[in-house]
Amino acid sequence: MATPILRWCCPGRRWVFAGIGSVFRHGRGVPTGSTSSGKRGQSTVAQQPLITAQKPRKGEREWAAVVGLEIHAQIASNSKLFSGSQVDFAAPPNSLVSFFDASLPGTLPVLNRRCVEAAVMTGLALDCHINRRSLFDRKHYFYADLPAGYQITQQRLPIAVNGSLVYSVCVGKRQSQMVTKTAGVKQIQLEQDSGKSLHDSLRSQTLIDLNRAGVGLLEVVLEPDMSCGEEAAAAIRELQLILQALGTSQANMAEGQLRVDANISVHNPGEPLGVRTEVKNLNSARFLAKAIDYEIQRQINELENGGKILNETRSFDYKLGCTVPMRDKEGKQDYRFMPEPNLPPLLLYDSGSLPTGTDPQQVINIDQLREQLPELPRVTREKLVQQYGMLPEHSFALLNEVGLLEFFQNVIKETRAEPKKVTSWVLNTFLGFLKQQNLAVSESPVTPSALAELLDLLDRKAISSSAAKQVFQELWRSKGKTPAQIVAEKKLELMQDAEALEQLCRSTLEAHPQVVTDVKKGNPRAINKLIGLVRRATLGRADPTVIKEVLERQLSS
Amino acid sequence: MLGRTLREVSEALKQGLVTPTELCQRCLSLIKKTKILNAYITVSEEAALKQAEESEKRYKKGQSLGDLDGIPVAVKDNFSTAGIETTCASNMLKGYVPPYNATVVQKLLDQGALLMGKTNLDEFAMGSGSTDGIFGPVKNPWSYSKQYREKRKQKSHGENENSHWLITGGSSGGSAAAVSAFTCFAALGSDTGGSTRNPAAHCGVVGLKPSYGLVSRHGLIPLVNSMDVPGILTRCVDDAAIVLGILAGHDPKDSTTIQDPVKPFTLPSLTDMSKLCIGIPKEYLTPELSSEVQSLWSKAANLFESEGAKVIEVSLPHTSYSIVCYHVLCTSEVASNMARFDGLEYGHRCDTDVSTEAMYAATRREGFNDVVRGRILSGNFFLLKENYENYFVKAQKVRRLIARDFVNVFNSGVDVLLTPTTLSEAVPHTEFIREDNRTRSAQDDLFTQAVNMAGLPAVSVPMALSSQGLPIGLQFIGRAFCDQQLLTVAKWFEKQVQFPVIQLQELMDDCSSVFENEKLAFASLK
């Protein structure tokens, strides 16, 4: 299955305000240079004008946008947060509902250990402080897909706080330069997912599916340290990779395993932050970036025209490409938070504080989880750059596609070709073919061994690089054939018979006296024409440099 | 036979003096004869007889499951019972048949107990009279006792006797009446602010509220999760200990139950009274306390002292704030717990289908009585963002002070506190309903709710009859998780006071069924 890919490496962004600078100027969309005022970001790179600055015309005000994100990631666990019901995205409606999930009176929540571990691991990966004691609260609101009339969450004392998410964005004219940024992680809390409501407006009824009700969620709150859609999208993409590397969430946005709400405001640099709006229903990274940039522009327009920004919830209409106020969220909700009395405080331990004589099944040791943390994407990328001399953006590209890194590493293992060559082939040719046919790496008809063999042929100059492309195409089309077979069938191997080549060159010279004359007159292009003619005669199997050598020798003799 | 205690009848079953089926049939027939009490909402006759049959088979094979095998029990109608309607005496849950058993119900059934039925209560256990449920009020069996009737005859002449029936107290009035009227040997109640101890005192039975966390709440339809405890009503302290021994212990389905293993509760006889220290909280001597209860309280204290125990006056300085604090915390949790009753997944649903919101509103208006709606309203008020700090948080802080009061007293060397359970004996229904539910609850929970806020074990033991011939109970309060010590003291007290047996001959035409073979059974026991 193909995963949606963030377009951060693609040139030619389509939306208006995709500049990396934190400052927006009203106008037809040319981002101005950046000033760091009013931005709470903690970029590891000094703030500098990344895009050629234009001096604001007189009377034009500068605008800075502030973006914070709330992410809900469904925890990858076998059972729900507080009940034994199975978690499965594709099960028939209402087939995974326990008595507790349906809020039958008298049922009580029982905390799922796996979900706690997932929260701790995510907290550790995001450099958070893990609270040794955290609490559960009830958040009340009436909604048909919330059977108990409240959601159990962690409002007062969440499981993890004060972390940071390091992510990178592409800058420069060709979007080829990577800049590292940091967004603060305010907190990570455990909470229940709701069920799903399906509104049938035709029959004016609502259908409820409780399969999702009670599934464990990690709510990750990112500080308003971002300043445009692209930054937000990049931060989300990095978080997604981290969650997937940890295995704490599948984090597939299309399947709703990762849901993002954005808090957006604009203000004049140096002045207090503006009134913020919340944009919901952002179900892909692309729409997230689009929605944020639209909303920033809308707020600027509104304020420039003397209007006011309302503290409201808006939703992104992806068909119209704009944000609209959400009707059912009108008016302030009072959630009447209250401690969840059926769950004692959640206590976590480290190796030092572990009470003696306790059942290890009953306690969670943070240090033990820390030791088990897998390698994080950032480290993997650094290793790639170091080990293979790869450009940073290539390391990003390799991690961005599920399975691509593993594919790359398997090719590297089996080939003698240079890592740079392998990188280029994997990221350009291989990935290009996948994209063209909308395939996932796992669905590729070309195996790592096949590509490795092909690159070996190329490496020992058995075939030309143009022949190699041809072989690759053939590999893609006809599964099961080896590159060597294809080379043999199509007679693509380079001519190794020097005598035959001499013969071919000689007959070519004889057949084209006019071109020979041109060469002798000193026309530099004439020799290329001859090379081309010989290559054609060899059916492309001879190395052009060798042909040139032979021709030059024959002409001068 | 029915007049005996659980322990006695259990012995009789083991000796073959009576069979589970006989016992079950006699209880069922007595339930029918005492229908006027309105103690039961549902009588699960068929299931009980089937359970009795199974039990009988086990006895024949010599494979009895233990002390409870073949013993008729009743369960308050706010415990989930698989396949048996569970209503909470509310329109909201009328017709609701749960698909699962509460842990405590399951434990009773696993021990071979016979479930006679589900007992009456105030709607969702909100009340102190067992008068405010949709199935009507529960009548106190003592209304029909020889003891009470004779006293009344002396005083009033010509009045209609039947219009002067007494309330049972509540909210577990049905369970108290069921045990008091011999229709079962033990019953489950629930106790949030005194709901087990209060009716126990009014009905002349033992009412135990175990330590919070000792007994699973899974399947108990909650009133206040942080205070609710399944309660046990029996005819003697030993019986309560037997039932507690079966119910107590960790339940993986209730995260607030203790992890430590629980030993069976066998009660030793107190021999050395000199090591015992009884505390008398001075704040419990309130002006509203009836002189009769007060004098019995003093008498009890003197009894302990004369037998060698140390009896000292102690102070629980935050007592006067307790009832207000209880009110805030109780209604807040009620507002939250009642949110699930929206008519969607189960329970009552109105006919309105204009919109989801309209449906919620109408469903809840039709489903809940005024008391429940009133508590939901005040609870939501206390939980509003602007009020949360001033009410809920403050009440929680006071709750901690109240709990600390008890800890301080127990740390000073006191083993058990002795207090009244209620202000007075049971009052006639006509008098009770002169005040509204809230006022009544505030008065009736006075001595009992602080214990719930502190999570302590407490037991009401009947001491004597009032001048009107009605039972008066006293409350013992123990250290957290020292339920066994508490019951040991209660048992000693019970033995000293020799509370009289209720004489229900006038109520039941065929009183012989209750007391037949009495002498025979007695002779063969102990």
Two structure tokens written together for A422: 């392998």
Predicted local confidence at residue A501, as pLDDT: 83
Pairwise CB contact (< 8 Å): B80 & A106? yes
Q: What's chain A's average pLDDT?
A: 85
d(CA B294, CA B304) in angstroms, rounded, equals 16
Q: How many CB atoms lie within 10 A of CB A113?
A: 13
- What is the rounded average pLDDT of the residues B192-200? 97
CB B118 within 8 A of CB B86: yes
Q: How many CB pairs under 8 A join A and B?
A: 100
Note whether residue B284 is domain-resident: no
Backbone CA torsion sign across A108, A114, A116, A118: negative
Note whether residue B421 is domain-resident: no
More confident site: A200 or B388:
B388
Contacts of B253 in chain A (CB under 8 A): 108, 110
CB A71 within 8 A of CB A259: yes
Pairwise CB contact (< 8 Å): A334 & B80? no
A274 to chain B nearest CA, in Å? 24
**Of the listed ranges A140-144, A495-499, A522-526, the one predicted with least confidence:** A495-499
- What is the rounded average pLDDT of the residues B116-124? 98
Least CB-CB distance to B340: which of A103, A144, A208?
Answer: A103
CA of A141: which chain B residue's CA is closest? Answer: B339
B285, with CB counted inside 10 A (0-12, 13-18, 19+), is: middle
Predicted local confidence at residue B157, as pLDDT: 57
CA of B346: which chain A residue's CA is closest? Answer: A104
The pTM of this model reads 0.87
Same domain flag for A483 and A506: no
d(CA B185, CA B48) in angstroms, rounded, equals 14
Residue pLDDT, tens place only, B25-53: 999 999 999 999 999 999 999 999 999 99
Whether a cis peptide bond, with omega within 30° of 0, leads into B171 is yes
Predicted local confidence at residue A539, as pLDDT: 74
By the CB < 8 Å criterion, does A307 face chain B?
no
Selected for mutation to probe chain A from B92, B228, B342 (highest A CB count within 10 Å) is: B342
Predicted local confidence at residue A328, as pLDDT: 59
Least CB-CB distance to B383: which of A99, A110, A338?
Answer: A338
Q: How confident is the model at residue A168 (pLDDT cuts 50, 70, 90)?
A: very high
Please list, residue by residue across B48-63, b when 16 or more beta carbons sit within 10 angstroms of its beta carbon and e when fewer do. Answer: bbebbeebbeebeeee
Same domain flag for A513 and A483: no
Note whether residue B370 is domain-resident: no
A149 to chain B nearest CA, in Å? 5
- What is the rounded average pLDDT of the residues B163-182? 95
Same domain flag for A445 and A508: no
Pairwise CB contact (< 8 Å): B222 & A142? no
d(CA B116, CA B30) in angstroms, rounded, equals 11
Look at residues A339, A362, A391 and tell me which one is the last residue of a structural domain.
Answer: A339
Predicted local confidence at residue B159, as pLDDT: 57
Contacts of B93 in chain A (CB under 8 A): 105
Note whether residue B354 is domain-resident: no
Same domain flag for A135 and A214: yes
- What is the rounded average pLDDT of the residues B99-110? 98
Please list, residue by residue across B94-133, b when 16 or more beta carbons sit within 10 angstroms of its beta carbon and e when fewer do. Answer: bebebebbbbbbbbbbebbbbbbbbbbbbbbbbbbbbbbb
Residue pLDDT, tens place only, B213-252: 999 999 999 999 999 999 999 999 999 999 999 999 999 9
Same domain flag for A121 and A191: yes
pLDDT at residue B332 is higher than 60: yes
Pairwise CB contact (< 8 Å): B383 & A140? yes
d(CA A468, CA A380) in angstroms, rounded, equals 30
Least CB-CB distance to B383: which of A142, A336, A341?
Answer: A336
- What is the rounded average pLDDT of the residues A218-243? 96
Return the top range by mean pLDDT from A17-31, A522-536, B329-343: B329-343
Note whether residue A44 is domain-resident: no
ipTM computed for the complex: 0.94
Active site residue B76: yes
d(CA B12, CA B8) in angstroms, rounded, equals 6
**Of the listed ranges B152-156, B270-274, B383-387, B518-522, the one predicted with least confidence:** B518-522
Predicted local confidence at residue B162, as pLDDT: 64
Those of residues 349-388 in A touching chain B at CB distance below 8 A are 362
Least CB-CB distance to B255: which of A144, A334, A344?
Answer: A344
Note whether residue A243 is domain-resident: yes
DSSP assignment letter at B204 = T
Q: Of these residues, B44, B143, B171, B332, which one is catalytic?
A: B171
Pairwise CB contact (< 8 Å): A110 & B93? no
Selected for mutation to probe chain B from A104, A151, A196 (highest B CB count within 10 Å) is: A104
pLDDT at residue B255 is higher than 60: yes
Residue A517 has, within 13 A of its CA and on its CB side, a CA count of 4
Contacts of B100 in chain A (CB under 8 A): 99, 104
- What is the rounded average pLDDT of the residues A487-501? 79
Note whether residue B444 is domain-resident: no
Note whether residue B372 is domain-resident: no
Q: What CATH number does residue A538 fall under?
A: 1.10.10.410
Q: How confident is the model at residue A330 (pLDDT cuts 50, 70, 90)?
A: low
Pairwise CB contact (< 8 Å): A99 & B99? yes
Q: Of these residues, B44, B64, B76, B107, which one is catalytic?
A: B76
Those of residues 92-111 in A touching chain B at CB distance below 8 A are 99, 102-111
Residue pLDDT, tens place only, B489-499: 999 999 999 99
Pairwise CB contact (< 8 Å): A103 & B345? yes
Same domain flag for A116 and A195: yes
> What stretch of H or E contains B232?
strand B229-234
Look at residues A489, A518, A547 and tell me which one is the last residue of a structural domain.
Answer: A489
Q: Which domain holds residue A524?
A: 498-556
Closest Cα partner for A167 from A494, A345, A400? Answer: A400
pLDDT at residue B525 is higher than 50: no
Contacts of B335 in chain A (CB under 8 A): 336
> What stretch of H or E contains A133?
strand A133-134
A313 to chain B nearest CA, in Å? 20
A106 to chain B nearest CA, in Å? 4
Note whether residue A134 is domain-resident: yes
B324 to chain A nearest CA, in Å? 18
Same domain flag for A512 and A448: no
Residue pLDDT, tens place only, A72-113: 999 999 999 999 999 998 899 999 999 999 999 999 999 999
Residue pLDDT, tens place only, B399-417: 999 999 999 999 999 999 9
Predicted local confidence at residue B270, as pLDDT: 85
A334 to chain B nearest CA, in Å? 7
Look at residues A457, A489, A521 and tell me which one is the last residue of a structural domain.
Answer: A489
Selected for mutation to probe chain B from A79, A81, A101, A107 (highest B CB count within 10 Å) is: A107
Same domain flag for A424 and A507: no
Active site residue B195: yes
CA of B345: which chain A residue's CA is closest? Answer: A102
A103 to chain B nearest CA, in Å? 7
- What is the rounded average pLDDT of the residues B93-98? 97
- What is the rounded average pLDDT of the residues A529-557? 82
Predicted local confidence at residue B233, as pLDDT: 98
Pairwise CB contact (< 8 Å): A106 & B385? no
Note whether residue B291 is domain-resident: no
CA of B97: which chain A residue's CA is closest? Answer: A104
pLDDT at residue B75 is higher than 60: yes
A419 to chain B nearest CA, in Å? 55
pLDDT at residue A44 is higher than 60: no
CA of B388: which chain A residue's CA is closest? Answer: A336
Contacts of A196 in chain B (CB under 8 A): none
The number of distinct structural domains making up chain A is 3
Same domain flag for A150 and A213: yes
Angle between helices A392-400 and A404-414 (to 10 degrees): 110
∠ CA B389-B395-B401, rounded to 5°? 125
Q: Of these residues, B55, B143, B195, B378, which one is catalytic?
A: B195
A273 to chain B nearest CA, in Å? 24
- What is the rounded average pLDDT of the residues B311-322? 96
Note whether residue A251 is domain-resident: yes
CA of B384: which chain A residue's CA is closest? Answer: A336
Same domain flag for A514 and A475: no
Residue pLDDT, tens place only, A340-392: 999 999 999 998 888 887 777 789 999 999 999 999 999 999 999 999 999 99
Length of chain B: 526
B226 to chain A nearest CA, in Å? 5
d(CA B4, CA B185) in angstroms, rounded, equals 8
Contacts of A343 in chain B (CB under 8 A): 255-256
Predicted local confidence at residue A510, as pLDDT: 87
Contacts of A101 in chain B (CB under 8 A): none
The number of distinct structural domains making up chain B is 1
Contacts of A102 in chain B (CB under 8 A): 345-346
Q: Which domain holds residue B33?
A: 6-276+457-517
Predicted local confidence at residue A49, as pLDDT: 35
Contacts of B255 in chain A (CB under 8 A): 108-111, 342-344
Same domain flag for A232 and A211: yes
Least CB-CB distance to B255: which of A103, A111, A144?
Answer: A111
Contacts of A341 in chain B (CB under 8 A): 224-226, 256, 333
Contacts of A136 in chain B (CB under 8 A): none
Least CB-CB distance to B226: which of A105, A142, A341?
Answer: A341
Q: What CATH number does residue B75 fall under?
A: 3.90.1300.10
pLDDT at residue B343 is higher than 50: yes
The 3-state DSSP class for residue A129 equals strand
Same domain flag for A128 and A258: yes
Q: What beta strand segments (E) does A227-330 contain?
A: 258-267, 277-282, 313-317, 322-325
Note whether residue A31 is domain-resident: no
